[in-house]
Amino acid sequence: MSRQLIAGNWKMNGSLAANDTLVRAVAAGLAGARCDVAVCVPSPYLAQVQGLLSGNSLALGAQDVSLHEQGAYTGEVSAAMLKEFGVRYAIVGHSERRQYHGETDAAVADKAKAALAHGITPIVCVGETLADREAGRTADVVKRQMAAVIHTNGHCISEIVVAYEPVWAIGTGRTATPEQAQEVHALLRTQLHAATQHVERIRILYGGSMNAANAAALLAQPDIDGGLIGGASLKPADFLQIVAAAR
């Protein structure tokens, strides 16, 4: 396995002043980090944060990418546009996009393909709702979501990052136990192993309310290769504590 990845998802938060303070504080605390670190910022701030990241080890990420190359798609941002701002990662299929914007498994797969075509690593999110988990459908849901991405991107599936984000644990303060998270990560690893001979290249992150208090226990699991961090990524001390827990 390659180095773990800790990626902050700022969601729809930030301002020019707040971003400057946050990025400078995180960058200053990265000395000796044993993992890769990225921040996924709102599109209007890509240029600002690109400038702030110059000369340090933080990577820039976007929170979404269009499945279209160009054209009459008002409000959309293409992978080619993101690439011009030095974007290394793009989150695709976050549960909030699936829930609030009706993104289908097929659309998520196409977004991953669009990112890969421009040398951007998609962070592909999969995860089940509370109703799915209580009905015993967790494995079926995450395998279906992952299968769509494998089907569309099978020839380069080893180039993606996966984030398991149980929907019931996002922004709720609830978190899957390390054992629950590890079980799903191992399931995804097995599914990906069947699709590529290079499964060791694929990092599978945990994305359900990882924070400074629970990061060490989650990141110690054998199939958890990092974290997709929401609220804690807006707090430099908490985010850096998670980074410090990574191996």
Active site residues: 94, 165
153 is in an annotated binding site: no
Of 182, 176, 167, the closest CA to residue 211 belongs to: 176
> How many other C-beta atoms can be found within 10 angstroms of the C-beta atom of residue 77?
19
11 is in an annotated binding site: yes
Chain position carrying tokens 């702030």: 52
Q: Which two tokens stand for residue 175?
A: 């978190």
The alpha carbon of 14 is separated from its chain's Cα centroid by a whole number of angstroms, namely 18
32 is in an annotated binding site: no
171 is in an annotated binding site: yes
Alpha-carbon span 148 to 137, nearest angstrom: 17
Name the 3-class secondary structure at 202.
coil
111 is in an annotated binding site: no
Query: Facing residues of 8 across strands?
Result: 39, 229
226 is in an annotated binding site: no
Alpha-carbon span 202 to 21, nearest angstrom: 32
168 is in an annotated binding site: no
Name the 3-class secondary structure at 3.
coil
The binding site comprises 9-11, 171, 209, 230-231
The binding site for substrate comprises 9-11, 171, 209, 230-231
